[in-house]
Chains A and B, each alone.
Chain A
Amino acid sequence: MFRLEARTSTPAWFNLALPLLAIGATLVLCSGLIALAGAGVIEAYGVMFSASLGDSYAITETLVRAAPMIFTGLAVAVAFRAKFWNIGAEGQLLAGAVASCAVGAIPMPGPLAMFLMAVAGAGAGAAVALIPATLRVKFKVDDVVSSLLLNSVIFYALMALIEGPWKDSFSGYPISPPIEESANFPVLLEGTRLHLGVLAALIAAPLIWFLIVRTTLGFRIRVTGENPEAARYGGIHVERVLISTALLSGALAGLAGVGEVGGVHFQVMSDISPGYGYSGIVVAMLARLNPLGVVPAAIFLAAVMTGAEAMSRATGVPAFLSEVIQGTALLAMLVALLFTAYRIRRVGAAR
């Protein structure tokens, strides 16, 4: 018989071991589904790997996909550190995309346009995140529910825009007019889609890490998240910290949308995000809310997404597997997190 016993301390190597363990468990669990779909497990994972990380072009494609999830992962990690339960990164991303696209469509010098797109996108994301944060601080409204529901509100508002007043008159599809060509983010590597936004995401992660670990705001975010009462008694304005966290989190999610508009799609359409906001939750959890861990976690999920498409073409396993893998990875990680607080002990052995 086995039993869980509470731990008094968590070894440091758990931070690395647990996500790897979770990913390993996920791949093992999902291999059953691949087999059920009638494909060879090794072959399928092989195709996934080579298509996502096998050569330098594949790697750049994976990074392009990882960029928005780095931003949304950071957004969620920051919010969850303060126990502001922002499930709304998806809506904040969409708001950021709309705002940056509107700004990018105005003719002006390229660098200025890109800067203003980022400002507008971050601002729009922050404004959206402010809603659930204010509702929670002022009226004790549950932030999980309000931030989640806002996603639908924003999605359908976006649909209404691009099917109506904001529809590109030169296209038959419900898409917005494109941004100015001069506002397109520069490509970093000739012949790939690796754009400036990817670099920005990779730089953002250590910056956010620094903010959380080395600044007084980060300290207040951590303390507020772990024990708001002690924070309040210690002279921290808990409400102010929650609002600041929400603004920061929303801005980061908004930047995910900016990158997609400026570097990938150059306009807004209804499927501009295949759920990057929700994937951000998985990313943040896999990273154990550590901003530096967000980068490898986002790259892992991006590799799964690009790889799953190739696998589905090569082996006939439906590409939906990518979503199953994401969901399983989240569950596996949540289970793995249990081991930070508990250890498994065999009982009855002493007798």
Chain B
Amino acid sequence: MPLSAPLIEMRGISKSFGAVKANEAVDLSVAPGEILGLLGENGAGKTTLMNVLFGAYAPDAGEILVQGKPVTINSSADALAAGIGMVHQHFHLAPRLSVLENLLIGISGRSGRIDRAGGLARLGEIGRQHGLTLDPDLPVSALSVGEQQRLEIVKALFRGARLLILDEPTAVLAPTEVDGLFAALRSMSAQGLGIIFISHKLNEVRALTHRCVVLRHGRVAGRVDAPASTTSSEMARLMCGHEIVPPARGPSTPGAAVLTLEGISTSGHAGTPLRDVSLFVRAGEILGIAGVSGNGQRALADVISGVRAADAGQMTIAGKMVSRFSPREVQALGLGRIPEDRMTTGLVTNLPLADSMVLPRIGTGAFSRNGLLKPDAIRAFAEAQIKAYDIRCPGPMTRAGALSGGNLQKALLARELAFDPKVLIVSQPTRGLDIGAARFIHEKFLDMRTKGCGIIVIGEDLEELLMLSDRIAVMYEGRIAGTLASADATVARLGLMMTGAEGTA
């Protein structure tokens, strides 16, 4: 446990972007061997504060001390020289280069030569110490997201970081990978490394950190000295400024099946293919799909969304057979889709938000006629949804990419729900969202359920699935390993089925 003088200290840090005060008079310190949790809702200023520490932004006021001495950090090179390493939310890796080459970028010996052998040795050493093993010769593009993150951590250690900043590292990880990450972080902390761990998942913070700083609207809203013995609801109150109650799932009588899959199999393409998948969702019912990611969830979502055709099997939507598997066909039959990856398959970040909001229905009478767009209708639609869903943005012509994750997710939800889908398929609906935004999304799903929509939620967060679903199907290696009524499902039982250990038809 930490006892010694602080490794780094930030005093009175303020940073504004125009009128937005991202950080205001923030104090924070980390001691050697300490894991500090940095908590806060989206937009609370966590990333900005860490970017100041890492030299990406110059603070408007305040100072940074490293081992008691004031320092000026103007670049990431300065930060690294001061022993500060950061793993960003979006990784900074060269995808075509190998693991080892990525480690050695920017590091060369005095003669300008690259020390491959030395790098290899250090890589092995770091891997053994903290359980962060990586194949040095694999190209980064072949690594999973979890492995890329591991490489980012190793990179920071390789450069001699004594303080490691991790910006929402678990947002991209599967539950099993989270365990591995925590083990590595604990091992580093035991060796005297300071760690700043950003998250808004309270159970993670409680399990891992020694101390917490909670930010709200750029200010320190509270400090928690013993996270393990503080309740989640107390911390949630600090983060949001008010109580958060999970929405209640009332009873509902499911109607006829609105989506059925019969013996669907796929082949080719990336990812795990589907093998003889049969399932159904009824009107007014939420079906959860649990499973460790990479067990065919992507293929399942793609087939249902009409992006990938099934090689065998049949699918019906609202009683009608899907014949061609195109996004337009399934949409015309009444399917709404909220993609897993908002930025890549959902929105067009460089175009106005309004364009993304009408994208899937641009060819329909609502937004165009005889090949001519209806700009007024598009604008009015976007404005109405922005209002109805309280999407925080300057207006429908704002670049979609400028919105925060929670607001983007609301926009995607709005664009689908506006057309009263009979079936809704969503993947990881609240990944990366804070408690307030997640709560809003959950409420909308439950509303839709009451209104008679059939919903499939693909997710890895078992607690979320248990809260939302009427039934939960578990995917394992491209098959449905079993389906449970949510009354019979527990985290433990689902967890077992997800490893392929138990099957219940």
A residues neighboring B (CB under 8 Å): 1, 3, 5, 8-10, 214-220, 222-223, 226-227, 229-236, 345, 347-351
Contacts and interface: CB of A to CB of B under 8 A. Distances in A.
B375 interface: yes
B57 interface: yes
B356 interface: yes
Contact of B351 (A3, A226, A229): A226
A222 B326 contact: no
A310 B372 CA distance: 46
B47 interface: no
A306 to B, nearest CB: 37
Interface in B42-86: 57-61, 72, 74-75
B61 A350 contact: yes
Which residue of B72, B305, B362 has the most chain A CB atoms within 10 A of its CB atom? B362
Contacts, number: 94
Contact of A214 (B17, B347, B372): B372
B210 interface: no
A220 B74 contact: no
16 contacts: A3-B75, A8-B399, A9-B394, A9-B402, A10-B399, A216-B373, A222-B348, A223-B359, A227-B347, A230-B348, A231-B359, A233-B337, A235-B363, A347-B58, A350-B60, A351-B72
Contact of B348 (A214, A223, A345, A348): A223
A226 B327 CA distance: 19
Given A230-B348, A232-B327, A219 B362 contact: yes
A215 B58 contact: no
A301 B500 CA distance: 68
Interface stretch (B109-117, B338-346, B451-459): B338-346
Nearest first, the 9 A-B pairs at minimum CB distance are A235-B327, A234-B359, A235-B328, A234-B360, A347-B58, A227-B348, A233-B345, A8-B402, A226-B348
Given A219-B355, A345-B58, 17 more contacts: A1-B74, A3-B58, A3-B74, A5-B57, A8-B17, A8-B402, A9-B398, A214-B372, A216-B371, A219-B362, A230-B359, A231-B359, A232-B307, A234-B362, A235-B326, A348-B72, A350-B60
A310 B305 CA distance: 63
Contacts of B375: 214
Contact of B349 (A5, A227, A345, A351): A227
Contacts of B331: 235
B371 A235 contact: no
Nearest to B360: A234
Contact of B345 (A10, A229, A347, A349): A229
B339 A348 contact: no
Nearest to B359: A234
Contact of A230 (B60, B74, B347): B347
Contact of B372 (A216, A233, A348): A216
A235 B398 CA distance: 23
Contact of B74 (A223, A229, A231, A348): A348
B252 interface: no
A349 to B, nearest CB: 8
B233 interface: no
A217 B344 contact: no
A3 B344 CA distance: 29
B296 to A, nearest CB: 18
Nearest to A222: B351
Given A219-B373, A233-B339, A348 B328 contact: no
